[in-house]
Structure 1
Amino acid sequence: MTAPRPRTLSELQRWRRTRAKRRWYKRSFRLQVMLLVGLLLAGMLLAQGTYLNYRKAEIISLQMGERALAVAKTVAAMPELIDAFDDDNPASVIQPLAERVRRETGARYVVVGNTLDVRYSHPVAERIGLTMVGGDNARALQEGKSYVSEATGTLGTAIRGKTPVRDEAGDIIGIVSVGFMLDRVEMDIARYNSLGWGLVALMICLGFAGAYWLSQHLKKVILGLEPYEIARLAMEKEAILQSIHEGILAVNREGQITLVNQQARRFLNLDDDHVLLGQPIREVVPNSRLLDVLKNGKQEFDEQMWLGDHPVVVNRMPIVHEGDIEGAVATFRSRREIVDLSQALTQASRDVDMLRAQAHEFSNKLYTISGLLQLKRVDEALALIHQENERAQAQMSFLMRCVADTVLSGTLMGKLTRARELGVTLEIDEQSSLSCPLTPTGQEVMMSVVGNLLDNACYAALHGPNDPPRVRLFFTDLGEQLLIEVEDNGPGVAPEHVESIFSDGFSTKTGQHQGIGLALVARLSRQHGGTVTLEDSELGGACFIAVLDRSLCAHISSQ
C-alpha cells in the first residue's frame, strides 16, 4: 500500500524534506564516515594552517623591522658617518657609505638626514638634499628613541628602522632610516606561506585517504551492514529475546551480566526495575556455572539445575571470537513445562492404546458371538452377551453410585478395560467413594495421580512373581483430604531405591522417557497440600498412598 501523494504546497515541501532526510539517513555508511572524518580533519588543518601562517607573517614582519633597526643602529654608530656631519659637504662621505651598507644588507634604502630632515644619502642621488618624507622622524630627533615604523615614502610603503645619530657629546645631530619595502616583505611572507599551505593540502589529502581506509575497516567490522540495518537488527534481536519462552543470560569475559531477558527475570523472581546488567553473575546466580564455561570453553547441553525456585534444563555455550573466549551465554527451559508436556503426550498415547485395546477386545467378542450364531448356538451367544452386559453394567453402576465426578469415572472405566486387555485383575475397593464432583483443576490432578499410579502398578504386577497379576485401588474423600491408595502383587521396591523412587528421571524400567510418572505424582501432591508415601502391600508388592487437599473438590462448604 503506497502513501498518499501530497496535494498542497506545504505538504509537498514536507514530503520533500522527509524524502531528503530519508535519503541521507540511508546513505552509505562508508561515505558518511569518510566525509565526516575527512571534513573534520580538513577543517582542523585549515584552521591550524591559517593561524600558523598568520603568526608566521607577523614574525617575518617583526624580524624585518628588527633587521632594519639593527642596520640603522649599526650605521648610526659608524665613526666615519659621525665625523662627516662636520664637513662642508657631508653627502660626499655619507652617500657612498650608506650605499655600500644598503647593498650588503639587502635593504631597499639607507637614508641619512640631519636634524632638519635634509637627506645626506638616498638610493636616488637626485633626491639628496631634499627633505625626508613620511613624517615619522619626530621620536628619533626630538626624543632620541630607536624604533620600527611603517610609512610611505618616495619609494613606496616600507617597514623602517629609525635611530638618532649622536656625536661624542651625546647630542643628536641626525637620523638614520633603513627601509625594506612592504611588497618585498609580502613576497617573502607569501613564499614561506606557500610551503605551509602545500603541507596543509598534503595532510588533507592524507586525511581523506585515512578516512577512506577507516570507513572500509569499519564497514568490514560491522559485516557490511548500514547503521539503520544494525539498528533494525538490534531492535529485532531485542524483540526476539524478550518474546521467546526460554530464559537467557549472557556474561562477558569478566563474568559480568551483559544480557538478560524477561523470562530469565521471571525465573529469578526479579521485577523489571531491578538492575542486573553489569552485576557479577556469581552474586545473582551462584550456580550458573558460566564462570566454568569461561575457563574451560566447553559447551554443556541439557543440564538440570534450579534457577531461583524453578527447576530448569540449561544449555551453556562460550562466545568465541578469533579463538578467544569473549563471554558465555546460558539458555533455560522450565523442566516443569517439559514434564507436563511429556505427561500430556504420554497420556495421549495411553488413551490411544486404551481405545485400541477396547476395539480389540470388543472385536474378539463380536467374532465369538458371530461364530456361536453361525453354529446355531443361540443360547450360548445370548448367555455371553448377558454376561458381558452384566459385567459392564456392574462396573458402570458402581462408578455411577460411588464416584460423583464423571471425568474420573471415565478414567477408571478406561483403566479397567486396559487392565483386562493386559491380563491384570484390577479391583476397585467397594468402600471407595467420591461424594462430590471435582473442580477442573481437581479433574486434571486426579487423572494424573490415579492414572500414573495404576499404570505403574499394572506394570509391576505383570513383571512380578505372583500369578495372576493383581492391582487394587481405593479412594475416598471422607475427612479433610482426598486419599488414593494403589497396591499390587508385584516384586515391590528394592530398599536401595526407596529414597530415589520419586526423583525426576529415576526409573527401574528400561527405555527412553521413563522416570516421569511417580515424580509427577509427588510434585502434584506437594503442590496441592499433600504428599505421597510408599508402603508394603497386603498383596505382596508395593502400596502407594497419595494424599491431596480437599480444595480440589467443588462445593466444599456444603460438605
Structure 2
Amino acid sequence: MTPPRSRTLAELQRFRRPRAKRRWYKRSFRLQVMLLVGLLLAGMLLAQGTYLNHRKADIISHQMGERALAVAQSVAVMPEIIAAFAEPDPAARIQPIAERIRHATGARYVVVGNSESIRYSHPVPERIGQHMVGGDNEQALRYGASYISEATGSLGTAMRGKTPVRDADGNIIGIVSVGFMLDRVAMDIGRYTSLGWALVALMIVLGFAGAYWLSQHLKRVILGLEPYEIARLAIEKEAILQSIHEGILAINSDGHITLVNQQARRFLDLPDDHVLLGQPIQAVVPNTRLLDVIRRGEQEFDQEMWLGDHPVVVNRVPILYEGEVEGAVATFRSRREIIDLSQALTQASRDVDMLRAQAHEFSNKLYTISGLLQLDRRDEALALIHQETARAQQQMSFLMRRVADTVLSGTLLGKLTRARELGVALEIDEQSSLSCPLTPTGQEVMMSVVGNLLDNACHAALNGPHAENPRVRLFFTDLGEQLLVEVEDNGSGVPPALAEAIFTEGFSTKQGKHLGIGLALVERLCRQHHGAVTLEESELGGACFIVVLDRGLCAQRAPTLAERRQSQGEPSHGH
C-alpha cells in the first residue's frame, strides 16, 4: 500500500473536486472569524445598549413622575385654589385654573378633589363631581404625603403626582392629582432612546465591517489556507519529516534545537523518549557547524563529518525571514548508503545498456514483420504482432472493468488510438469508473462531451510550451448524484479574458474555418441536461475543463442473480 501523495501549498490553494460534504469545522475560516468577532461584538453592544437604554427609560420615567409631582405641589399651594374650597361651588373657580395649568404643562389631566375624593376639576367636564378613580389617594388625604404613583384612572394608566391641599391652619382639605399617560411616557422614552439604538446598530455594522477586514487580513497572513488545511499541512509535514530517510536537525537563532526527526535520533543513537527540543545544539552534537552557518548566513553542501559512530554527508542551510537569519537546518545522510546507492546506479547503467539492446531487437522484429508480409507469410506475421499488442489489451481490459457502457468504451479506445497516432500521451485516471450503462441519450451526450474535450486538449497539448512531451489526462465518475468528467492538458491554457468567450459558438483560438463549435456544443449539452461546464487551471500546467451532468443519463443497472436472491431472502450459494 503506497502512502498518500503529499500536497504542496499550491495544490491546497487551487480548486479540488469535493469528495464529501464539508463538516462544520471545515467551513470558510474567513466566514468563521467574521461571524465570531461580529456576533461577539454585536452581543456586547446589544447588552450594553439594553442596559443603558433601560437606565435611560427609568430616568425619564422618574423625571416624568417628578414633573407631575412638582406641578401638583404648585397647584396645591395656589391661593386661588385654597380659597375656592370655601366657596359654595369650588368647581366653578378651580376648573378653569386647572385646565389652564394642564395646557401649559402638557399634562394629560390636572384633577383637584376634596377630602372625600370628589372632583372639582377634570379634563372631561361631565366627570366633575364624581369620585376620583385609582384608589391611591389615601396616603395624601390621611397622612398628608406627597408621592408619585402609577395607577389606572378613568382616562387610562398614568404616571401620577399627588399632594394634599391644606388650608391656612394646615388642615388637609383636598388633593391635587396631576397625571401623564404611560403611552405618552413610552413615546418620550422611545424618542430619547432611539438615538441610542441607532448608535448601537451603527456600531454593530461597523463591527461586522471590521470583522470582515480582520478575517481578510488573517486569511492573507495564513496564505489563503483554511485552519483544517494548516492542521493537515502540519500533520503531513510531521509525517514526511519522520518518514524520509535523511536525518533532519533544526535550531533557532539562539542555538537551541527546534526540530529533530526519527532518522536523526537513530544517527545520534538516542531513544525516542529522550528530550531534544529546546536543548543547546552543542550538548547534542559537539562538532556541529550550524552555529557558524547562523553567524555567516552561508550555505554548506555535501560536507563530510562523523555523527556519533556514523559517517554522514551533511547539508547546512540558514533559515531566513525578511532578510534576517532566524535559525539553521541540517540534513544528513549515511555515507555508507551513498556508496550503496552508487553501486546501485552502476547496476542501473548496465540495465540501461540491456534496454538499448532490447530496443534494437524490437526494431529487428518490425523489420521481420515487414519481411514476413512481403513473403506472404501472414500467419507468422500475425503471431508476431499479437505478441506486441499487450499494451492495447491492457487498455481494453481497463475499459471493460471500469466502464459499464460499451459505446463509451469504444469512444475512449478510439481516442486513445488517435492520441497515440498524434504523439500525445493520453492518460485515463485509474480512479475513473462508470458503474452503470448510459441511456441512448446519455451515450450521445457523453460521446460529444468527451470527444470534443479530448480533441481540444490534444490540440492544445501539441501546440503548447511542452509540445515535445504533450500530455492529456481524463477523469470520469458516476459516483454520487451527478456525472463528472474532467479533461486537462499541459498546453498553454486559456487567458482569463477569454474564459467565457471560448464557450461562444464561432469563437476559437485556432486558425481556420468552421471552428468554435466543440466547446459551444459541450456548454449547450450541459445546460440541456441540468449540468455545467467550468474552466480551471490544470495541474499539468494547461487548461482543465470540468463537466457536471445529470445522473439521469445513466440507465438503471440490472441486479445480479445474487442481488435478486438476497433481496428475496434466499441464500446466494456463492463460492
Q: Give me the whole-angstrom Cα distance separating, in 2, the residues matched to 1:177 and 1:117.
A: 10
* SS of 2:248 mapped into structure 1: strand
Q: Give me the whole-angstrom Cα distance separating, in 2, the residues matched to 1:283 and 1:106.
A: 89
1:227 has 2:199 as partner: no
1:160 has 2:149 as partner: no
Which residue is equivalent to 1:327?
327
Counterpart AA for 2:328: A
1:175 has 2:175 as partner: yes
Please say which of residues 313-322 and 236-245 is displaced more in the overlay. 313-322
Q: Give me the whole-angstrom Cα distance separating, in 1, the residues matched to 2:84 and 2:133.
A: 22
Counterpart AA for 1:200: V
Q: Give me the whole-angstrom Cα distance separating, in 1, the residues matched to 2:147 and 2:99.
A: 22
Q: Give me the whole-angstrom Cα distance separating, in 2, the residues matched to 1:19 and 1:51.
A: 49
Change (3 A) 1:339 1:111: same
Counterpart AA for 1:263: Q
Scaled by the length of structure 2, the TM-score of the pair is 0.50
Q: Give me the whole-angstrom Cα distance separating, in 1, the residues matched to 2:295 and 2:163.
A: 84
Compute the displacement of 1:291 (Å): 4.6
1:122 has 2:119 as partner: no
Which residue is equivalent to 1:144?
144
Compute the displacement of 1:80 (Å): 4.4
Compute the displacement of 1:289 (Å): 4.6
Compute the displacement of 1:344 (Å): 9.6
Change (3 A) 1:203 1:301: same
Change (3 A) 1:256 1:71: farther
Please say which of residues 42-51 and 171-180 is displaced more in the overlay. 42-51
Q: Give me the whole-angstrom Cα distance separating, in 2, the residues matched to 1:344 and 1:166.
A: 121
Compute the displacement of 1:185 (Å): 1.2
Which residue is equivalent to 1:208?
208
Which residue is equivalent to 1:58?
58
Counterpart AA for 2:158: A
Change (3 A) 1:150 1:283: farther
Change (3 A) 1:301 1:72: farther
Counterpart AA for 1:173: I
**Can you list the C-alpha shifts for 1:490-545, whole angstroms capped at 9, x where unaligned?**
xxxxxxxxxxxxxxxxxxxxxxxxxxxxxxxxxxxxxxxxxxxxxxxxxxxxxxxx
Which residue is equivalent to 2:238?
238
Change (3 A) 1:279 1:155: farther
1:270 has 2:270 as partner: yes
Which residue is equivalent to 2:409?
none
Compute the displacement of 1:74 (Å): 3.3
Compute the displacement of 1:47 (Å): 3.9
Counterpart AA for 1:61: S
> Which ranges of structure 1 fall in alignment gaps of 5 or more residues?
1-17, 350-559
* SS of 1:22 mapped into structure 2: coil
Which residue is equivalent to 1:195?
195
List aligned pairs for 1:241-320, cutoff 5 A.
Answer: 241-281=241-281, 283-285=283-285, 288-308=288-308, 310-320=310-320
1:91 has 2:97 as partner: no
List aligned pairs for 1:334-353, cutoff 5 A.
Answer: 334-335=334-335, 337-338=337-338
Compute the displacement of 1:61 (Å): 2.1
Change (3 A) 1:197 1:292: farther
Q: Give me the whole-angstrom Cα distance separating, in 2, the residues matched to 1:163 and 1:294.
A: 89
Change (3 A) 1:238 1:133: same
* SS of 1:176 mapped into structure 2: strand
List aligned pairs for 1:453-472, cutoff 5 A.
Answer: none
Q: Give me the whole-angstrom Cα distance separating, in 2, the residues matched to 1:269 and 1:183.
A: 86
Q: Give me the whole-angstrom Cα distance separating, in 1, the residues matched to 2:98 and 2:282.
A: 92
Q: Give me the whole-angstrom Cα distance separating, in 2, the residues matched to 1:19 and 1:143.
A: 83
Aligned residues: 332
* SS of 2:22 mapped into structure 1: helix
Change (3 A) 1:304 1:171: farther
Counterpart AA for 1:197: W
Larger radius of gyration: 1
**Can you list the C-alpha shifts for 1:432-458, whole angstroms capped at 9, x where unaligned?**
xxxxxxxxxxxxxxxxxxxxxxxxxxx
Q: Give me the whole-angstrom Cα distance separating, in 2, the residues matched to 1:280 and 1:107.
A: 84
Change (3 A) 1:310 1:93: farther
Change (3 A) 1:263 1:155: same
Which residue is equivalent to 2:9?
none
Which residue is equivalent to 2:217?
217
Q: Give me the whole-angstrom Cα distance separating, in 2, the residues matched to 1:289 and 1:66.
A: 85
Change (3 A) 1:158 1:299: same
1:75 has 2:75 as partner: yes
Compute the displacement of 1:106 (Å): 2.1
Change (3 A) 1:176 1:241: same
**Can you list the C-alpha shifts for 1:390-416, whole angstroms capped at 9, x where unaligned?**
xxxxxxxxxxxxxxxxxxxxxxxxxxx
Compute the displacement of 1:136 (Å): 0.9
List aligned pairs for 1:473-512, cutoff 5 A.
Answer: none
Overall identity of the aligned pairs, in %: 80
Q: Give me the whole-angstrom Cα distance separating, in 2, the residues matched to 1:230 and 1:315.
A: 28
Which residue is equivalent to 1:131?
131
1:184 has 2:184 as partner: yes
Compute the displacement of 1:77 (Å): 3.8
Q: Give me the whole-angstrom Cα distance separating, in 2, the residues matched to 1:296 and 1:170.
A: 102
Compute the displacement of 1:184 (Å): 0.7
Q: Give me the whole-angstrom Cα distance separating, in 2, the residues matched to 1:183 and 1:29.
A: 48
Q: Give me the whole-angstrom Cα distance separating, in 1, the residues matched to 2:173 and 2:254.
A: 87
Q: Give me the whole-angstrom Cα distance separating, in 1, the residues matched to 2:42 and 2:19.
A: 29
**Can you list the C-alpha shifts for 1:126-177, whole angstroms capped at 9, x where unaligned?**
3333221111111222233222221111222111122223344443222221
